[in-house]
C-alpha cells in the first residue's frame, strides 16, 4: 500500500478507512482497502474535503464490486473536469487584460 502509516492513521481517525488488528496491534487491510486508499489520495488531489470523500464512500455497498469502484472513479473524473473548467474561467478572468483592482491616482 503506497500510503504512509501517518496517512493511514489519519484516514482511520476520520472514518475513511478501517483495519483489522493483529495480536501485536498491527494493521491488516483487505483488498478493498487498497482501492479506498488510492481513491482517497486521488480525491484529495482533486480537492475534495474529508467530508466529501466520506460522502462518496457512503454511497458504496458494503462489499463493493469492480463496477462500484469504476463508478466512483468516473465521478472523480467528472469532479476534476468540473474544477478544471472553473479554474480556467478564473484564470481567464485574471489574464483578460482588465485590471482586477483600480487604485485611485494620488496627487
Q: What pLDDT score was predicted for residue 107?
A: 59
Judged against a pLDDT cut of 80, whether residue 11 lies above it is answered with yes
Angle formed by the axes of helices 31-46 and 66-95, nearest 10°: 10
**What confidence tens digit (pLDDT) does each residue in 22-72 have?**
889 888 888 888 889 999 999 999 999 999 999 999 999 988 999 999 999
Chain mean pLDDT for the chain: 89
Contact 33, 64 (CB under 8 A): no
Give the largest Cα separation in the chain, rounded.
Answer: 77
Contact 68, 34 (CB under 8 A): no
Q: What pLDDT score was predicted for residue 103?
A: 66
Amino acid at each position: 500500500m503506497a500510503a504512509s502509516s501517518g496517512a493511514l492513521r489519519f484516514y482511520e481517525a476520520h472514518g475513511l478507512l478501517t483495519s483489522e488488528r493483529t495480536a501485536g496491534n498491527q494493521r491488516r487491510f483487505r483488498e478493498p482497502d487498497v482501492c479506498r486508499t488510492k481513491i482517497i489520495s486521488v480525491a484529495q488531489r482533486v480537492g475534495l474535503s474529508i467530508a466529501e470523500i466520506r460522502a462518496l464512500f457512503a454511497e458504496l455497498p458494503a462489499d463493493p464490486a469492480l463496477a462500484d469502484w469504476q463508478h466512483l472513479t468516473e465521478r472523480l473524473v467528472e469532479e476534476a473536469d468540473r474544477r478544471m473548467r472553473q479554474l480556467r474561467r478564473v484564470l481567464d478572468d485574471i489574464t483578460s487584460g482588465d485590471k482586477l483592482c483600480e487604485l485611485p491616482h494620488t496627487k
